[in-house]
Structure 1
Amino acid sequence: MRAIRGATTVSENTIEAIRGAVTELLDELERRNQLEPQDIISVTFSVTRDLDMIFPAAIARPRPGWDNIAMLDVQQMHVEGSLQRCIRFLIHAKVPISAPIHHIYLRHAANLRPDWSFPQSLTASQSAVESKV
């Protein structure tokens, strides 16, 4: 089991804007990681407190193959001055240890983790830890 992180931002707190951002984020996740829904174990979505028009899981659930994935929506802890209108995810999936992981950061959320703009390879110590899990 491997963990994949990602985030995006939306321009406004509307169902349409949130739906577009979540769809774009999940499309990119599947494409860049060659991930099939049956390989996804669980998804936790977090949103900043300024997004409250729709749950990201409600957007993800109708995707082909996503209806049986365990999903949870939570509110991101508020920190003064942090990125606004941000949607994040943490996905646990069955991904081979040898496969690169592409963490997906789009729109203004790309500023959160510029170091993850390229595939993440496991270090030897990470490989040893994950092989025991």
Structure 2
Amino acid sequence: MAVRAIRGATQLDVDEREHLLERSAELVKAVLEANDLENEDLISILFTVTSDLRSEFPAVAGRQIGLTDVPLMCMQEIPVPHALPRVVRLMVHTETPRSRDKIQHVYLHGAVALRPDLTGAQ
């Protein structure tokens, strides 16, 4: 079984606590579903947010959906002037039998613009 990193991101419409929690939970669930992962497969999840998001920690959404024994950490992205605004990113570390080319990275809402090569949005 290999250790793999899975990337994902979502863009929020506004910086409001419930909206951030909803979109963050949606992103985590989508990554887990796309890669056939269960809670026990997870090693850790790193979340980042752009500097314009301050209403809540995205890790709270992970806890709310049951990831209570998975290490979760939140950080702020580098404030690059031309960066896409209101973005929550994550990197999931997991044990999986999938080869690297079978890993499904997930980009939702406006964040598909970040990696059109991975989302088919080219």
Task: Using structure 2 for the length normalisation, give the TM-score.
Answer: 0.91
Measured after TM superposition, the shift of residue 98 of structure 1 is 3.4
Larger Rg, first or second structure (1 or 2): 1
Check whether the contact 2:22–2:61 (CA below 8 A) recurs between aligned residues: no
Q: 2: CA distance between counterparts of 1:24 and 1:87? A: 11
Residue 81 of structure 1 is matched in structure 2 by 82
Q: CA deviation at 1:78?
A: 0.7
Q: CA deviation at 1:26?
A: 1.2
Relative contact order, higher structure (CA 8 A, sep 6+): 2
Question: After superposition, what is the alpha-carbon deviation per residue over 1:55-98, rounded to whole angstroms, capped at 9, x for unaligned?
Answer: 0011111323x101011100011101110000000111001143
Equivalent of 2:110 in 88, 101, 108: 108
Give the percent of matched residue pairs that are identical in Structure 1 and Structure 2. 36
1:122 is matched with none
TM-score scaled by structure 1?
0.84
Point out 4+ residue stretches in structure 1 off by more than 3 angstroms: none
Aligned residues: 117
Q: CA RMSD in A?
A: 1.2
SS of residue in 1 equivalent to 2:81: coil
Structure 1 unmatched runs, 5+: 119-133
Partners in 2 of 1:16 and 1:62 — Cα distance?
12
- Structure 1, residues 96-129: CA drift from partner, whole Å, max 9, x if none? 14371100001111010011126xxxxxxxxxxx
Higher strand share: 2
